[in-house]
Structure 1
Amino acid sequence: EVQEMVFDLMFNLDATEEQLDFPTVYGSAKQGWMSTDWRKPTDNILPVLDAIIEYIPAPQTLEGDPQMLITSLDFSNYVGRIAVGRVHRGTLREGMDIALCKRDGSVVKQRIKELHTFEGMGRKKVSEVSSGDICALVGIEGFEIGDTVSDINNPEPLPRIAIDEPTMSMTFTINDSPFFGKDGKFVTSRHIADRLTRELDRNLALRVSKAPHEDVWTVYGRGVLHLSVLIETMRREGYELQVGQPQVIIKEIDGQKCEPVELLTINVPEEYSSKIIDMVTRRRGEMVSMTTQNDRLHIEFQIPSRGIIGLRNNVLTASAGEAIMAHRFLEYQPWKGDIERRTNGSLIAMEAGTAYAYAIDKLQDRGRFFIFPQEEVYAGQVVGENAKDNDIVVNVTKSKKLTNMRASGADDKARIIPPVVFSLEEALEYIKEDEYVEVTPHHLRLRKIILDELERKRANKQ
């Protein structure tokens, strides 16, 4: 059955006859065995290791002057930046003098202090590495991704790789909510500034600029996912911060306002295709091609990066989870016009306190909630989505008044619809421009930037 499923999947992906003719090894990761016959379980995984030796061709070793393209980097507080890449040709040794071929064509003499290879979850120090080895070089300074480590006497640069430039920005700021400091270890502006500076040493597609007089940073990245990985890493390390709505980076090219456009590919069953096409075209996407692969359609679009914000969840919902979606930066193109984002307003907590099931139950006709009963909330926190397009302030901390009077009828129990629980990426895609996501190690909260209701009204009038 498993083999039939694999065959069906590969057939749907347009596999050729040669690709469908392959040896099969069966096994159970849970029970720790592999076998060439699924009816005869073993007590080890040797059959899969034997199959690797038998069927996978041996690596080619290129002899000659050493060459290595730096394709990634690491950072250590002790030795600084570490160059990572695969040795293309020849052998590199500890203590060896090398030539670093840079972007501008210049060649700089450097020395390798240490060589590390990757083993398991860590690294192992070695004396030399040869063609095909993926390694880390300690002691190389002033390098960039795409530079070549080469022979000192005969420097030959390899073709450079390009790093995609940032297309999206987000505001990072200190957590100034009433729950500041309750959950995290690192909460001050100095903590956040130091952490972002450290991130720049290893995250090459990232840029950071700071507002001169405020504890606000604008962080530029390659999309919502790129920035949400950084935020998620920071919260797991114990940081508290607040982040604003993602904004695309606008450029003026030849006097014309331009925005980043991405090539979006969606592979989806034919029955859902019309919904998906409608959804993408509403977000200013233009269909480039559509090909049939058995019972699935492979559709390519050119779509503004703005249009991709919040698209993934809608596509998965519309296709019952069947769609496969990928996108990459294409180029800057003239501004495509307005794109309709979230139209529903927010339900905003009136005052600080504990949210009660009684209050939430009575307010459920107003919209859907994001909080559980007995959760602590504060004034100005976004606790739900209004069914209409305006924001309304609601009192979720109101408890049922108890008296010794008999009720004329039996009290109905509160029937609470389960709240919407956002992932970090979903929360970033959901918020409006006057809202923040408050991120702490154990909590994600949505809030208005201006918490006070009167101040909010005053600001909206202005």
Structure 2
Amino acid sequence: MQKLRNIAIIAHVDHGKTTLVDKILHSCSIFRDNEQTGDLILDNNDLERERGITIVSKNVSVQYKDVKINIIDTPGHADFGGEVERVLKMADGVLLLCDAFEGAMPQTRFVTQKALALGLKPIVVVNKVDKENCRPEEVYEQIFELFFNLEATEDQLDFPVIYGSSKQGWMSTDWKVPTTDIFALLDAVVANIPAAPTNDGTLQMQITSLDYSSFVGRIAIGRVHRGSIKENQPVTLIKRDGKIVKSRVKELYTFEGLGKIRTQEVKSGDICAVVGIDGFEIGDTIADFEAPEQLPVIKIDEPTMNMLFTINNSPFFGKEGKFVTSQRIRERLYKEMEKNLALKVVETESPDSYLVYGRGILHLSVLIETMRREGYEIQVGQPQVIVKEIDGKKCEPIETLIVDVPGEVAGKVIELVTQRKGELLIMEPKGDLQHLEFEIPSRGIIGLRNNVLTATAGEAIMAHRFKAYEPWKGNIPGRLNGVLVSMDKGNTTAYSIDKLQDRGRFFVDPGVDIYEGQILGEHIRDNDLVINIVKGKALTNMRASGTDDNTRIAPAIKFSLEEAMEYIQADEYIEITPASMRLRKIYLTENERKINAKKFQ
């Protein structure tokens, strides 16, 4: 038996996965005593730290007693399900992390289903038992029921449970008896997760993720399924479509702590990084040079949403970004497809535009935000759900939506969701909150979060996951209000904004450069209004005491990228540059908009 365990940590977003990995790393003395590490060690890119979520799965390993434990930290958000599905192939067991108050959330169900289907052994960790009004016993019952509904085997249903608080750094088999360390969890991993199997025979290794180094290029990461892999060994790369390419391993690394160490040979069961193989993609198999055998190709759920990406053709193009041509945007999108399996890029009739397919608003917004930080200027259109024809019927993606809200505002939430063709399935108390479950078309979720948070004064907790394709539910009303559109270019003035405040709420501050056709605010009525806010006050040589009004301007509304994506309509674009984000009409002049109005009806 190998002294090696491979585990993936799965959980709903914000249930404490990355914090738990921090504590495991500290407990196993990965760092020197005087080393400054900070929190959320694995969320190492800026976007992950700012948003407080994991976007890309990471590999680390720790040595506990005499066992090496490979840990894979996975994203918790439904939009990054493609990332989770492929890395589960590297594990023999999973740590299912659950909040002691919230219990099993929709995303927990999604990844648990994938893990159980692969036959992985689960350990359930009920986290955050130090929270007020936590309910660990109820959560345990809920998880057992979830496993049963997902058709877990007898062995999987007989799962060990560990209680604790990863923030406070303790784990125990009894939540009423706190300890001072997390060794109870590591002991459970060593005792219950099966050791990585040793399969003798010719080499087989599937590439399940990739890394990049500016010195050696792309690095293939995966688990050796059978046999062993050595440095300088000639190998065969079998592509997803069965095509065979001969290659050679230049360097070989295994994971040690947070880094990698070079090694001569990696035996079956261990996770390693291979340098020197060219032209590989995720899902390819590295096999024996003489008698290559392919492993089953990774299947990833299909995208449910698409967006139009196009070059920036506004009057301000090229002022702030480095990469503005369609060729550069095309190269960047195709490069992203290599490592982002749930993403698909389709060329359109126009050479300047591409349709990008993804798992949801967050999935696409992370790509846009990353490109923006790299210096790209792009424009994106309204997100559209992907409609399919199944058995001659028009079908659309339907999602399960879960909302936890204070009881007194539950009625408002139900009203908002049912307006968007949502159907209430379950309504029950959960602690001091009301727990609501709906089935709703994916179209209905776009733009819903803002409305729900406004109606509940920010107290709603929302989560959703893709369920299935079902028959089209009919028309869903879009945005209720029109927008205020600029008729002129120039610098905005406080005087003009002040005079037009009764017409709506503004998205721009005084003293900002704007152009004709830019969206400046939200109109109070349902039609669009063309306005001029670059006009200054007419000056005279007379001074009149008391007649000059002081301008009192309400603060401008500032959208996040996701909010802007949910806000725009079919005849609008978001212009995104490294320094700014503007909303605009596709056709900038009022005359063009009137001529092309029928296109968007």
* 1:177-219 CA distance string (max 9 Å, x none): 1111111111122221221222222222222222344411111
Question: 1:12·1:295 contact (CA, 8 Å) conserved in 2?
Answer: no
Letter of the structure 2 residue corresponding to residue 229 of structure 1: V
Letter of the structure 2 residue corresponding to residue 405 of structure 1: M
1:8 paired residue among 129, 133, 136: 133
1:282 paired residue among 419, 428, 438: 419
Q: Distance in 1 between matches of 2:238 and 2:351?
A: 41
2:197 paired residue among 28, 46, 62: 62
Q: Distance in 1 between matches of 2:347 and 2:297?
A: 31
Inter-CA distance 23–451: structure 2 relative to 1 (3 Å threshold): closer
What SS does the corresponding residue of 2:500 show, helix, strand or coil?
Answer: helix
Counterpart of 1:41 in structure 2 is: none
Inter-CA distance 185–103: structure 2 relative to 1 (3 Å threshold): closer
Counterpart of 2:21 in structure 1 is: none
Letter of the structure 1 residue corresponding to residue 190 of structure 2: P
Equivalence map 1:23-422=2 (5 Å): 57=190, 60-65=195-200, 68-74=205-211, 82-87=219-224, 91-96=228-233, 111-118=248-255, 123-130=260-267, 133-140=270-277, 145-146=282-283, 161-407=298-544, 409-422=546-559
| 1:20 CA drift (Å) | 9.4
Inter-CA distance 415–216: structure 2 relative to 1 (3 Å threshold): same
Letter of the structure 2 residue corresponding to residue 374 of structure 1: G
Inter-CA distance 26–92: structure 2 relative to 1 (3 Å threshold): same
Question: 2:252·2:263 contact (CA, 8 Å) conserved in 1?
Answer: yes
What SS does the corresponding residue of 2:334 show, helix, strand or coil?
Answer: helix
Inter-CA distance 405–447: structure 2 relative to 1 (3 Å threshold): same
Question: 1:62·1:89 contact (CA, 8 Å) conserved in 2?
Answer: no
Question: 2:282·2:338 contact (CA, 8 Å) conserved in 1?
Answer: no
Greater mean deviation of Cα atoms: 403-412 or 198-207: 403-412
Greater mean deviation of Cα atoms: 344-353 or 98-107: 98-107
Inter-CA distance 119–386: structure 2 relative to 1 (3 Å threshold): farther
Question: 1:67·1:89 contact (CA, 8 Å) conserved in 2?
Answer: yes
Counterpart of 1:430 in structure 2 is: 567
Structure 2: give runs of 5+ residues left out of the alignment. Answer: 1-126, 142-158, 172-179
Q: Distance in 2 between matches of 1:120 and 1:341?
A: 50
Q: Distance in 1 between matches of 2:381 and 2:596?
A: 18
| 1:314 CA drift (Å) | 2.5
Identity of aligned residues (%): 57
* 1:50-75 CA distance string (max 9 Å, x none): 77766763763433337655433345
| 1:281 CA drift (Å) | 2.0
| 1:408 CA drift (Å) | 5.6
Greater mean deviation of Cα atoms: 276-285 or 236-245: 276-285
Q: Distance in 2 between matches of 1:26 and 1:78?
A: 37
| 1:381 CA drift (Å) | 0.5
* 1:64-93 CA distance string (max 9 Å, x none): 337655433345688665433345676543
Question: 1:164·1:329 contact (CA, 8 Å) conserved in 2?
Answer: no
TM-score normalised to the size of structure 2?
0.65
Inter-CA distance 362–233: structure 2 relative to 1 (3 Å threshold): same
What SS does the corresponding residue of 2:139 show, helix, strand or coil?
Answer: coil
Inter-CA distance 234–118: structure 2 relative to 1 (3 Å threshold): farther
Inter-CA distance 161–303: structure 2 relative to 1 (3 Å threshold): farther
Question: 1:367·1:386 contact (CA, 8 Å) conserved in 2?
Answer: yes
Q: Distance in 1 between matches of 2:132 and 2:358?
A: 39
| 1:229 CA drift (Å) | 1.0
| 1:157 CA drift (Å) | 7.2
Aligned pairs, number? 445
* 1:98-146 CA distance string (max 9 Å, x none): 6777767899886544333456776554333456644333355676545
Greater mean deviation of Cα atoms: 167-176 or 296-305: 296-305
Q: Distance in 1 between matches of 2:280 and 2:491?
A: 54
| 1:234 CA drift (Å) | 0.7
Q: Distance in 1 between matches of 2:366 and 2:167?
A: 35
Greater mean deviation of Cα atoms: 134-143 or 201-210: 134-143
Q: Distance in 1 between matches of 2:268 and 2:448?
A: 43
* 1:376-432 CA distance string (max 9 Å, x none): 111111000101011111111111122121326342211111111011111111111
* 1:340-393 CA distance string (max 9 Å, x none): 110211101111111111111110100000001111111111000101011111
| 1:460 CA drift (Å) | 2.4
Inter-CA distance 54–334: structure 2 relative to 1 (3 Å threshold): closer
Question: 1:267·1:324 contact (CA, 8 Å) conserved in 2?
Answer: yes
Q: Distance in 1 between matches of 2:240 and 2:326?
A: 35
Structure 1: give runs of 5+ residues left out of the alignment. Answer: 28-33, 37-46
Q: Distance in 2 between matches of 1:153 and 1:189?
A: 43
What SS does the corresponding residue of 2:133 show, helix, strand or coil?
Answer: helix
Letter of the structure 1 residue corresponding to residue 518 of structure 2: Q
Pairwise CA RMSD:
3.7
